[in-house]
Amino acid sequence: MSLLSDLSDVFGDAFASIGLDRSFGEVSVSQRPDLGQFQCNGALPAAKPAGRNPREIAQEVLEAVSGDERIAEMSLAGPGFINVILTDEFLAEALQTVAEDGRLGVPRAAEALAVVVDYGGPNVAKEMHVGHLRPAIIGESIKRILLFEGHRVAGDVHLGDWGTPMGQLIVELSERQPGLPYFDAGFTGPYPADSPVSVGDLQLMYPVASERSKQDRAFAEAARQATVELQDGRPGYRALWSHFRTVSIEAMRDVYDDLGVHFDLWNGESTVHDRIQPMIDRLVEAGLTRLSDGATVIDVADEVDTKEIPPLLLAKSDGAYLYGTSDLATIEERIEDLDARLMVYIVDVRQSLHFEQVFRAARLTGIAGPDVVLEHAGNGTVNGPDGKPFKTRDGNLLRLADLVSMVVERATQRLDENELATGYPQEERHRIAHLVGMSALKFGDLHNHRTSNYIFDVDRFTSFDGKTGPYLLYGAVRIKSILREASERGLKGGRIIAADRDGERNLMLRLARLPEVFARAVEHRAPNQLAEYAFELVADFNRFYEACHILSEPDAARQGSWLTLVGTTLRQLELVLDLLGIEIPERM
Ligand code: ARG
């Protein structure tokens, strides 16, 4: 139903009518707006297999299409490009359809799938840092995109909550507070309801315990033992671990809430613990595993590999499970319990080998059948001005909570500098500063390609000028106020009529492109496509608003048409920003 697919049909028919494949008829938005609005370049790839001259083919296609009343002008350029300009009447009609559509022209997926988006991935007891920013923001956006496409999507935070760090913390705490009942194997009474440690205590203990494990063999052995006992279900350890988990989740929720990131599932590695041993037994029995120095592994290398893919480790010689073991069992769990058909993992690209191994193992073992899609949609890193992962002055990774406050603080200054939201109630002003800060953070992140790294620049991100989140929020708020003013004057939107000037025509052309942009965002798991679109939409709107003086327009039909365009622009902007996880204030 999009303009591009309609046009591609028209040109596809033309190619077919001269005996060539319809797929050559694909139309795209023009790279040369001075020559046309759209272009069809199919004559070039069509020429070689047909053994013909591309310009001749293009000429014949052009003749076959000419007469189509939707097209105002066509011209031939270069070796065989066809430039296309639509009639303003047809464009207006196409826009009317978009305006009337609750989904603004974006189709639903042909088939609704059960999808799990695995993102976030923080570890219990460990302070969240700048490295957790991108998976959270990108994952939230991809989840929303897939949801809007019509799938049943669950976002799973997939906590690291079951590995040796848990044993290390248990041992560390047993030394600091040996009198706690959790360490007394003979204790029978109910364990205390309140946690003996705060999340702050845990976050301080975590690096200490981890460092001790590296230095002190006896400590490391005790931690390994405690991990095994925890996993095997020793009641005191389970009770203590459950406190660790609860207080950590509370702290994580605060940070994620601030970021506007929300999970449907707070599962973790521990969720699948009970599945792991039966899974391994089954795989061993089926002859799918091999022993390697006492460890149980699955070979996942393939003859055609160009780089070495080592086997996936399922269990160490002492029986301990690994990161990949729980990921494999989690795939099985999601298929069985949620009927998941697609799993998308938003995790640092540096873990790509891990996911390659896990996915291959899932295929080879039949845990994931051919109807299940497994994807690692990796993310790049947030870098400091030196181009290396962002560090604080003392050389530590910046805490995520500090990063959030820093951005909100800068956003507050920006409001002052620009004399925005002045004289509003304190509470509303705080809320606006928060939303401006989050738009800065999210847009600053999401307009980069998912896999690339970017330099975190709080000054640039929070600016109201340029390609930034605050620029978009300001644009959206301005559109809202235009519509408010129109409605106060009793003006209403009407049917969209043919454009009579560029500012208006270009906005219409932009608004017609959302379906195609959305499709690309879905296909490549690429929120940056939508971020770019939001920016272009606001920029086109601003030019439109400069050229079209809506409130003083004497022609009521034109004024009504413009108001519908304004309303449609706002709806699209709201939709796109929502898909990016960016919230718009009512005013500022
Ligand atoms: N907790 C992991 C880490 O800190 C990230 C988890 C990513 N998700 C997954 N299913 N492996 O590296």
Q: Does residue 378's CB lie within 6 angstroms of at least one atom of ligand 1?
A: no
For residue 324, report the distance from its CA to the centre of ligand 1, in Å.
10
Strand order in the sheet with 373-376: 152-156, 114-119, 342-346, 373-376
Q: Does residue 347's CB lie within 6 angstroms of at least one atom of ligand 1?
A: yes
Atom of ligand 1 nearest to the CA of 323: 11
CA 252 to chain centroid:
19
The token pair that represents 193 in the structure block: 């309801």
Element (H, E) at 290: strand 290-292
Q: Does residue 272's CB lie within 6 angstroms of at least one atom of ligand 1?
A: no
CA 501 to chain centroid:
37
Atom of ligand 1 nearest to the CA of 351: 12
Side chain identity at residue 438, one-letter code = M
Residue nearest to atom 12 of ligand 1 (CA): 121
Residue nearest to atom 3 of ligand 1 (CA): 121
Percent helix, percent strand, percent coil in the chain, to nearest 5: 55, 10, 35
- Pairing of β 290-292 and β 382-383: unpaired
Residue nearest to atom 11 of ligand 1 (CA): 327
For residue 364, report the distance from its CA to the centre of ligand 1, in Å.
22
- How much is the pLDDT for 389? 83
Nearest-5° angle of CA 490, CA 491, CA 494?
Answer: 140
Confidence of residue 23 (pLDDT cuts 50, 70, 90): very high
Q: Does residue 158's CB lie within 6 angstroms of at least one atom of ligand 1?
A: yes
Confidence of residue 393 (pLDDT cuts 50, 70, 90): confident
For residue 323, report the distance from its CA to the centre of ligand 1, in Å.
8
Pocket probe for ligand 1: among 118, 312, 352, the residue whose CB has the most ligand atoms within 8 Å is: 118
73-94 residue pLDDT tens: 999 999 999 999 999 999 999 9
Q: Provide the 10 A C-beta neighbour count for residue 387.
A: 8
d(CA 121, CA 348) in angstroms, rounded, equals 10
For residue 508, report the distance from its CA to the centre of ligand 1, in Å.
43
Pocket probe for ligand 1: among 126, 351, 356, the residue whose CB has the most ligand atoms within 8 Å is: 351
Atom of ligand 1 nearest to the CA of 354: 11
Q: Does residue 123's CB lie within 6 angstroms of at least one atom of ligand 1?
A: yes
For residue 502, report the distance from its CA to the centre of ligand 1, in Å.
50
- How much is the pLDDT for 1? 58
Residue nearest to atom 8 of ligand 1 (CA): 121
Q: Does residue 533's CB lie within 6 angstroms of at least one atom of ligand 1?
A: no
Q: Does residue 345's CB lie within 6 angstroms of at least one atom of ligand 1?
A: yes
Strand order in the sheet with 81-86: 27-29, 38-40, 81-86, 71-77
Q: Does residue 121's CB lie within 6 angstroms of at least one atom of ligand 1?
A: yes
Cβ neighbours for 390, distance < 8 A, ≥ 6 positions apart: 130, 382, 383, 384, 397, 398, 456
Q: Does residue 360's CB lie within 6 angstroms of at least one atom of ligand 1?
A: no
Q: Residues 413, 418, 423, 429: what is their CA dihedral angle, to the nearest 10 degrees?
A: -50
Q: Does residue 132's CB lie within 6 angstroms of at least one atom of ligand 1?
A: no
- How much is the pLDDT for 250? 97
- Are the C-beta atoms of 38 and 84 separated by less than 8 Å? yes
Q: Does residue 8's CB lie within 6 angstroms of at least one atom of ligand 1?
A: no
Confidence of residue 123 (pLDDT cuts 50, 70, 90): very high
For residue 408, report the distance from its CA to the centre of ligand 1, in Å.
28
Region 504-532: mean pLDDT is 97
Atom of ligand 1 nearest to the CA of 159: 1
The token pair that represents 569 in the structure block: 């622009």
Q: Does residue 327's CB lie within 6 angstroms of at least one atom of ligand 1?
A: yes
Region 553-557: mean pLDDT is 97
Q: Does residue 359's CB lie within 6 angstroms of at least one atom of ligand 1?
A: no
Atom of ligand 1 nearest to the CA of 160: 1
157-204 residue pLDDT tens: 999 999 999 999 999 999 999 999 999 999 998 999 999 999 999 999
For residue 159, report the distance from its CA to the centre of ligand 1, in Å.
7
Share of the chain above pLDDT 70, in %: 100
Confidence of residue 331 (pLDDT cuts 50, 70, 90): very high
d(CA 431, CA 106) in angstroms, rounded, equals 31
For residue 347, report the distance from its CA to the centre of ligand 1, in Å.
7
- Are the C-beta atoms of 113 and 119 separated by less than 8 Å? no
Confidence of residue 240 (pLDDT cuts 50, 70, 90): very high
**380 pLDDT above the threshold of 90:** yes
- Are the C-beta atoms of 582 and 439 separated by less than 8 Å? yes
For residue 109, report the distance from its CA to the centre of ligand 1, in Å.
29
Q: Does residue 493's CB lie within 6 angstroms of at least one atom of ligand 1?
A: no
263-311 residue pLDDT tens: 999 999 999 999 999 999 999 999 999 999 999 999 999 999 999 999 9
Taking alpha carbons only, the member of 410, 421, 409, 417 closest to residue 586 is 421
Region 394-415: mean pLDDT is 94
Q: Does residue 527's CB lie within 6 angstroms of at least one atom of ligand 1?
A: no
Element (H, E) at 119: strand 114-119
Taking alpha carbons only, the member of 228, 316, 325, 342 closest to residue 275 is 325
Rounded to two decimals, the pTM is 0.96
440-471 residue pLDDT tens: 999 999 999 999 999 999 999 999 999 999 99
Pocket probe for ligand 1: among 117, 133, 158, 166, the residue whose CB has the most ligand atoms within 8 Å is: 158
Residue nearest to atom 2 of ligand 1 (CA): 121
d(CA 353, CA 355) in angstroms, rounded, equals 5
Pocket probe for ligand 1: among 127, 326, 345, the residue whose CB has the most ligand atoms within 8 Å is: 345
For residue 444, report the distance from its CA to the centre of ligand 1, in Å.
24
490-502 residue pLDDT tens: 999 999 999 999 9
Taking alpha carbons only, the member of 427, 116, 108 closest to residue 271 is 116
Domains in the chain, ordered, with CATH? 3-86 (3.30.1360.70), 164-259 (no CATH)
Q: Does residue 131's CB lie within 6 angstroms of at least one atom of ligand 1?
A: no
d(CA 217, CA 396) in angstroms, rounded, equals 26
Q: Does residue 329's CB lie within 6 angstroms of at least one atom of ligand 1?
A: no
